[in-house]
Copies of this chain bind each other. A is one copy, B any other.
């Protein structure tokens, strides 16, 4: 293998400056991922990469002794941005001020490596154009499924296919919580555990509400389905309404429950959704446990490709960051996958699981099935497990593939029934 610094082995069109001297790297945001990335750079000393700056607010309290003394610690973003660094590693997250830093760096012809899914989901196309126009590069392999090389896989290994569907477990917090609930715990208890372990925030809405997964899905949809969509067009469904009884019913149906993000494209028809779904126990999506992530891509030519591993956490995410830096140092440019603006308009036609909780009385099943029949929805099974009290009886209806809109109309009617104790829980079933 050629050594990075041996010019005779370098092809004539390698990007000269990055080969000649190491890339000078500034890390913006020295939290879990930032310090893991710094540690890999210091420990592994990958050829062609030199950490020169660390920016953080109140940087004094962040300083660590294992970073070489040559590294400049700064709390002045402007000073670092106008220094001679080649690459900004943006790990602060959120739209601002991260977005301004990234734009300033790209405008100055620097390259940017970021793990910021929100920034890329909302502004990725604009930022890529800016990078291309100014001669820098923008890499965000860490933004989706951190340690799993889904983005490089899509850009480099699957660009020759036409991906028609993407399904992913993209939020480790939800996966941790749901795989704990699979073992029998209730929602509130697993949320408390997740918070105690640092997997979930004090306000867990971003994760459990599906907003984090939605941003990641929007990024994957652009690279996989080649559709530029506004993330807000994807309406996420929270996992908060899932209870232990649903896992018990799911098991009887040969399934478990996962937060799944899915997008599908057929011509200009685009469907996308995020939320808890029933997945077959034998399907790849059921393999992911704990905080793991998984992505299944279905290509017209190559069939299904599955990626799985640790999607988040300091070290796995830092691997993606350092890999992006190495790609920059080696002059390995992104393969620009052409994409066009699109809108989420189509609906999935899949079977559904609907769980009701009722005060039992005669005629309930007749009324529910009548409302479904009115919308031409065929019932697959009605399941009622024993052992629950008559005054709060959970039971489940599964239906053959139908559009969500038809089912919503049926549920609108069913909701008026006086015996219902709470909102019926409607979950898509993936087969």
Contact = CB atoms under 8 A, between A and B. Distances in A.
A310 interface: yes
A333 interface: yes
A229 to B, nearest CB: 13
Contact of A156 (B132, B156, B338): B156
Interface string A127-158: 01101110111000100000111111111111
Interface string A152-192: 11111111111000000000000000000000000000000
Given A125-B1, A327-B156, A333-B331, A162 B44 contact: yes
A309 B301 contact: no
Nearest to A307: B307
A47 interface: yes
A273 interface: no
Contacts of A284: 287, 308
A302 B321 CA distance: 11
Contacts of A47: 338
A325 interface: yes
A336 B129 contact: no
Contacts of A66: none
A269 to B, nearest CB: 19
A69 interface: no
- So how many copies of this chain end up in the complex? 2
B287 A301 contact: no
A305 interface: yes
B137 A11 contact: yes
A4 interface: yes
Contact of A325 (B136, B160, B331, B338): B160
A104 B128 CA distance: 38
A157 B323 contact: yes
A147 B302 contact: yes
Interface string A208-230: 00000000000000100000100
Contact of A40 (B36, B128, B136, B301): B301
A26 to B, nearest CB: 17
Nearest to A124: B1
Nearest to A322: B160
Contacts of A318: 160, 301
Given A132-B2, A334-B332, A338-B3, A310 B302 contact: yes
Given A9-B132, A318-B301, A337 B306 contact: no
A328 to B, nearest CB: 9
13 contacts: A8-B133, A9-B133, A11-B333, A149-B156, A150-B157, A152-B155, A156-B332, A158-B319, A287-B287, A301-B316, A305-B309, A330-B334, A330-B335
Interface of A: 1-4, 8-16, 36, 40, 44, 46-47, 125, 128-129, 131-133, 135-137, 141, 147-162, 222, 228, 284, 287, 299, 301-310, 315-316, 318-327, 330-339
- Which 4 A/B pairs are nearest by Cβ-Cβ distance? A149-B157, A160-B322, A152-B156, A152-B157
